[in-house]
Amino acid sequence: MTKSYPTPYSKKPTLQEWLWEIPLSCLSFVFSRILKALMQSLTGVFSASKPQESPEWQLVSAKFLAKPVKLLWAMSRARWNLHAMVFLVGALEVQKEISIDITSAQKSAKSWTVVLYNTPAFETIDSFSSLTVSGENQWESFKLPLGRYLLGLRYYHWASTVEIPTVKVDGIKVVEGKTMAAPPDVNNFYRDLIKRKTFLHVWLNYYVFSLLRFQEWLPEKFVKDVFLPVPNPETRFYYGAVKPGEAVNFELNPELIENYYIYYSLYSRECFPLDWYPISDATHQTAVNQEKCIYLVRIHPKFALDAVFNPDWVNISVVSDIIRG
């Protein structure tokens, strides 16, 4: 079960925020819900909403997101996972079962996850990973009711050459496995996405900054469901808003660092990627922000899904440049 630990922001809204930021954020939220529903209702807006004649894994890349509607769809559905190689395949028409050859994943990355979504709602249905499979079986399966489904594959700490697994639907091979080169900078394309920002992207996610800045006054589940619409079930999340002149401060227990991967991501107000890197030190402070941003921290087990985790091991706070200095 996905666990999230929002980082409260204790400052009260300013007069400007009451008069300007909060009303506009409310309008942005309504707009985002309408646009999301509209895109979901239009068949063919995203190729994964309808079955493919010859389905194949697609790497989330600059090419994958080349069409403006594909980028808009992605930004309405999830927060970019900047630390993984992400592949998608679907929609797959299923009667009873989807099976994945996991030997390819085991050879390709230290840590990996396969997540099953329904379409077109794109809700998380099930998952398995390097932490949950025994490794004794070549094939791992999802038992399913009749429907259309999408598979998401995430590789963390991947090899220079990766294998993408073969997929069977109801015992019949429908997706061929393949091998590809995977340089360490395969995700650098994310840094260029903000150059494609339009008025639609601004209105789509304008509300997110206020959502996280004032999250202590909102139901925790509401904030999590809105901000993390398709989270990895095995990951713990921390998130918050950062104003100009502020930085994110980390104080982490050494035992956490020993047993978990800690991934830091910084996004613009519109949720475009700005920066990301792993954190491996017990104390760390990010660079001071020059604009309003949001951050997301993913904490993922290294060795065992049931690894001991104590929320007191994690102290993440937003500090001003004055305090920081």
Model confidence pLDDT, tens digit, residues 257-270: 999 999 999 999 99
Instruction: Return the C-alpha torsion angle 214, 217, 262, 256, nearest 10.
Output: 140
Token look-up 């004032």 returns: 214
What is the predicted pLDDT for the residue at 229? 72
Domain check: are 318 and 197 in the same one? yes
What is the predicted pLDDT for the residue at 233? 78
3-class secondary structure, 323: helix
Interval 105-115 mean pLDDT? 92
Mean pLDDT lowest among 27-36, 48-57, 61-70, 287-296: 48-57
Domain check: are 165 and 242 in the same one? no
56 occurs within a structural domain? no
How sure is the predictor about 47, in pLDDT bands with cuts at 50, 70 and 90?
Answer: very low
What is the predicted pLDDT for the residue at 325? 43
Residue 153: which H helix or E strand, with range?
strand 147-158
Alpha-carbon distances, residue 243 vs 95, 203, 212, 213, 286 (angstroms): 49, 19, 11, 9, 13
Domain check: are 27 and 106 in the same one? no
How much is the mean pLDDT over the chain? 87
Residue 209 · residue 242 · CB < 8 Å: no
Answer with the one of 153, 181, 209 that is the final residue of a domain. 181
Quote the CA–CA distance of 12 and 35 in Å, as a whole number.
30
Task: Write out the two tokens for 234.
Answer: 């095995």
91 occurs within a structural domain? yes
42 occurs within a structural domain? no
Buried b (16+ CB within 10 A) or exposed e, 268-301: bbbbbbbbbeebeeeebebebbeebbbbbbbbbb
Interval 142-167 mean pLDDT? 92
126 occurs within a structural domain? yes
Model confidence pLDDT, tens digit, residues 178-230: 999 988 789 999 999 999 999 999 999 999 999 999 998 889 999 998 898 77
3-class secondary structure, 93: strand
DSSP state of 229: S
Higher pLDDT, 41 or 29: 29
pLDDT higher than 80, residue 3: no
Domain check: are 193 and 319 in the same one? yes
Give the residue from 185, 196, 193, 186 showing the smallest Cα distance to 274.
193
Answer with the one of 165, 181, 197 that is the final residue of a domain. 181
92 occurs within a structural domain? yes
Instruction: Return the C-alpha torsion angle 88, 300, 110, 113, nearest 10.
Output: -30
- The per-residue DSSP string of 168-227 comes to EETTEEEE--EEEE--TTTTGGGGGGGGG--HHHHHHHTHHHHHHHTGGGS-HHHHHHHH
Domain check: are 192 and 166 in the same one? no
- pTM of the full structure: 0.87
Give the residue from 214, 268, 271, 264 showing the smallest Cα distance to 244.
268
Give residue 17's domain range: 3-34+188-324
Domain count, the chain: 2
